[in-house]
Amino acid sequence: DGGITQSPKYLFRKEGQNVTLSCEQNLNHDAMYWYRQDPGQGLRLIYYSQIVNDFQKGDIAEGYSVSREKKESFPLTVTSAQKNPTAFYLCASTTTRTGIDQPQHFGDGTRLSIL
């Protein structure tokens, strides 16, 4: 089945540790996105990528890094510089080839907590 796969579902980070969240899609989508959701809040954009080997900062990029080496994959690293990493992290993707704005579809998310 086509879809967006995020792993792991739950992740715990120790003080000073970098952790990487995986996002893979087999929808042949060009654009991929990472969002953060805090309890009772909407989604905030961390990073996004429209094409392979290119990505842009979103509204809250500090303390995070990404790469886009393959069309299917857009991993997010939460670095030790991110002092408040506890949140629900959501990956999304969409196509950009139709000429009209297409909705984004989401993976199941990763919950990150500090140990």
Contacting positions for other proteins (CB under 8 A): 31, 33, 35, 40-45, 48, 50, 58, 90, 92, 94-96, 98, 100-109
Which is nearer to other proteins, 27 or 43 (by Cβ)?
43
Nearest distance from C-beta of residue 71 to other proteins, angstroms: 16
Which is nearer to other proteins, 17 or 56 (by Cβ)?
56
Count how many residues are written for the chain.
115
Nearest distance from C-beta of residue 54 to other proteins, angstroms: 11
Nearest distance from C-beta of residue 38 to other proteins, angstroms: 10
Nearest distance from C-beta of residue 15 to other proteins, angstroms: 26
